[in-house]
A and B are shown apart, each in its own frame.
Chain A
Amino acid sequence: MNNLIKISLLFCALVFLKPTNSSAQNAKYKCMIQMTNYMGEGAYIVVSLIDAKSQYVKTLYVLGSDKKWYNSLKEWHKYYAKKPSNISAITGASLTGGDRSVSNIDIEKSKINAGFKLRFESAVEDKEYFVKDLEIPLTTETLSAKSEGTGFIRYVRFSPN
């Protein structure tokens, strides 16, 4: 009986430890976002992992720290409002025209080459909102290349770290 408890405790511990173990399966990527030379306020940009059905799976990075403007990123905000998560560790400053930023993004290895996509959503207060400023399949190929944006983003470059 006593052993049974010990075993189940060990099992439980293993179950709870599992997420930590799986994080070891993450790969770090450097991601550079280069903005176009637009004029005006800073752009809020969010990088999300989405599945084949275009459903949000995970927020990977947020550029823009004032929560007040998150609702300008309409589609993402719907998801985020339903499932709020702590994003303070993956939040950087918003970008203005001509800026570029380099951030380190954690991506689960299991999601790569598995039909998932990376979506770059951007919005500038009182200007346009681009749901798909840039959307690229999450493959080993795109993760070492340069992809052109369609909105405020000129291009995005990745490189494995």
Chain B
Amino acid sequence: MTKTLWRYSHLTLAISSFLFLLLAALTGIILSVEPITQKAKIYGVHNLDEVTVADLLPKLKAKYDEVTTISVESNRFVQIQAIDKSGDDVKAYIDPRTGNVLGVVGKKNEFFQWITTFHRSLFLHETGRFFIGLTAFLLMLIAISGIMLTIQRQRGFRRFFSKIHKDGFSQYYHVVLGRILLIPIFIIAISGTYLSLNTLGILKTVKESVDVNLDLIKSAPEKKIQDFAAFKNIKLVEVESIEFPFSEDVEDYFILKLKDRELAVNQITGDVLAESKYPFNILLTNLSLDLHTGRTNILWAIVLGISCIGILFFIYSGFAITLKRISIRTKNKYRSAECKYIILVGSENGSTYAYASAIHKLLLKSGEKSYLTALNNYGIFEQAEQLIILTSTYGLGEAPVNASRFIKLVAEYPQKQNILYSVLGFGSRAYPDFCKFAFDIHNSLSKQSWIKPLIDIHTVNDKSPQDLQLWAESWAQQSEIKLTGFPELKIIKPTLLKRFIVQSNSGTNTEGTFQLKINSSGKLKAKSGDLLAIYPANDHRERLYSIGIVDNAIQLSVRLHHDGLGSGYLNNLKAKDLLQAKVLKNPHFYFPNKASKVIMISNGTGIAPFLGMIDQNVEHTPCFLFCGFRNKLSYDLYNDFLNDQLSKSKVSQVNVAYSRVVNKQYVSDLISLEAEFISKSLMDAAVIMICGSLSMQKDIVKILEEVCLTKTGHPLSFYQSRNQVLTDCY
């Protein structure tokens, strides 16, 4: 919940202060130029640490009739106020090594002065100063909440500066620039707050002048200024100002204001009459001034200027992000109680909302009653037939902010009618916990008796249109509703279909399954695990089949359904027939490159991709096949092939379960028997691949959930999000 807190405080703080912040940043940019223009003048002398007060003072005494003050400005200009030999006032910058005048002190630039006043008080006196102070304080809080958000986004402080996933212009640069500029902005904010507290009189910073006891002042022995011990030890670099004695009376003395203390020095004997260290607040005030204005360091002044430009950008991009997040929330046309389709969204920054909203609109357009809401708003939906769940994952596989309560709510509020669901997870494989929360939802729903999956869980890597399309096609096929234009892509025209030639058709066995071997007319661009999309009626109706590549040809295992549109069409194909189809890439179900072993679980025709993978297992990765069939006859189709592969040790073990024989056994029963083997393998970086019916998957997932929790200490979704459990079910 803390991330919600940081997010909302970051936004609330920004909204409540952005106007003042905008003014302060704009004027800040202009003011940062002042030290730069000042520094550009040539009066600065670099070796102030080589000149002592004892060196300088005699030279000045000789050159001028009367010196009033010397001050060393923060940009290291040495200024003198004096009366020269001809009785004229002198106010000039001097070279401290010679006492020569370098240039006249100009008037303070009125423009900068005007801007400074505006920056400090908006010309509103005390009220303005209060608001600017408050703004500085809020900026500090914004910076803190920004740091916290970045830490969460990067999952941990140590990864603070590691790569940021690019997720839209505003979003990306808000974070990228944010984490660089957070530090100077934080310094600006904290020093600004401190200075405001000072000028508002909340901090009591009082300069105490040195207290000299006039009764103790001695007028002997007389010494020359250049021999004053106190002056010999003080370099000009430490000096802020030197006030000369008002008269030659011994009761008037030198006052030296240094960076950290004030000294009173007898003008005749050179004795230190009194010394007072500045209180800590004064030092802090000076430090704040140095940091806030950049007056001492030109580089820092430039950094301050850039930070102010950065603040402007953050205001802009922050609002862009917020607007995006708000604008994509679509209004619902119907009440939730009357809708057939309930679209539930888990979204952190709103991009998932955009997809959900697109689906919502398409459903409404095709005359369906659809209701769009956040996962946390789950409740009882009286007329619902389907839940469409789209969710991203946040941080370390956690729920996005508007989905945190969903899994709990599902357990609390079962629907009264039986309904279907599908989960579409959004994420990036750049992060280790890819779509973990989507898997969590899928797994927890599959435990409920009143809800069944319509299609298998799908994941979308980096907003990949192919991934989205795959989901849309699977979903549309099962729901009989075409999601035309989702995702926003060119509509697939038949010209994009490829020509394939049927090599052989095994014909249906007694159980109604058959194998089809297909050659590509050109170069075969498919891998085992991909899907073949066919259009049996040459219309929008599409059917998908899992591809296994065996002997360089596509091999499909199909079960003939009564009146099956796709299976009937395929069953009628004979050798050398032409077939128009296209290959849909399905990389999440490819044979893993790096795996200690691969456990393949299938039922029925779900074995198809595994046959191809085993055939291509030239690396001899240990493969353990667990497959379920109705009876021995349906397995016969694969028996010879698998025996051959066993002898070539491309597959290490084949376990078959028969569900329609006397001692009936499901593939899930095989898996429960192998719990120990499964858990050990998972911990040993094995990959489990599941292909077949969704009901089989549901059973397997149930078993794996328990096995994982009890034997490995991680939930199943831990392995799912690390690509150790791959599924492709229908």
Contact = CB atoms under 8 A, between A and B. Distances in A.
Interface residues of A, number: 26
A39 B246 contact: no
Given A88-B107, A159-B246, A39 B201 contact: yes
Interface stretch (B149-157, B202-210, B655-663, B714-722): B202-210
Given A28-B87, A65-B107, A65-B108, A102 B207 contact: no
Contact of A37 (B107, B110, B207): B207
Nearest to B81: A102
Contact of B199 (A41, A68, A89, A102): A41
A39 B66 contact: no
A7 to B, nearest CB: 34
Interface in B615-650: none
A157 interface: yes
A142 B352 CA distance: 83
A97 B246 contact: no
B69 interface: yes
Given A41-B199, A68-B117, A126-B126, A102 B206 contact: no
A104 interface: yes
Interface string B100-121: 0000000110100110010000
B256 to A, nearest CB: 13
A32 interface: yes
Nearest to A66: B113
A37 B126 contact: no
Interface string A112-146: 00000000000001100000000000000000000
Contacts of B247: 159
A30 interface: yes
A161 interface: yes
Interface string A88-114: 110000001111101110000000000
B125 A39 contact: no
Nearest to B206: A37
A98 to B, nearest CB: 4
Interface string A25-48: 000101010000101110000000
Given A65-B107, A102-B246, A159-B246, A40 B199 contact: yes
Contacts of A161: 66, 83, 87
A37 B199 contact: no
B322 interface: no
A125 B125 contact: yes
A132 B82 CA distance: 29
A37 B246 CA distance: 20
Given A41-B199, A65-B107, A68-B117, A98 B208 contact: yes
Given A88-B107, A97-B206, A102-B69, A126 B125 contact: yes
Given A40-B199, A41-B199, A32 B246 contact: yes
Contacts of A40: 199, 201
B89 interface: yes
B706 interface: no
Contacts of A67: 110
Contacts of B366: none
Contacts of B68: 30, 102-104
Contacts of A68: 114, 117
Interface of B: 66, 68-69, 81, 83, 87, 89, 107-108, 110, 113-114, 117, 125-126, 199, 201, 204-209, 243-244, 246-247
Interface of A: 28, 30, 32, 37, 39-41, 65-68, 88-89, 96-100, 102-104, 125-126, 157, 159, 161
Given A157-B246, A161-B66, 8 more contacts: A30-B68, A37-B206, A39-B204, A65-B113, A66-B110, A89-B89, A98-B208, A104-B89
27 contacts: A30-B246, A37-B208, A37-B209, A39-B204, A40-B199, A41-B199, A65-B107, A66-B117, A67-B110, A68-B117, A88-B107, A89-B89, A97-B207, A98-B206, A98-B208, A98-B209, A100-B209, A102-B69, A102-B81, A102-B244, A103-B68, A104-B68, A104-B83, A126-B125, A159-B247, A161-B83, A161-B87
Kindly list the 5 A-B residue pairs having the minimum CB-CB distance in the complex, ordered from nearest.
A98-B207, A102-B68, A126-B126, A32-B246, A159-B247
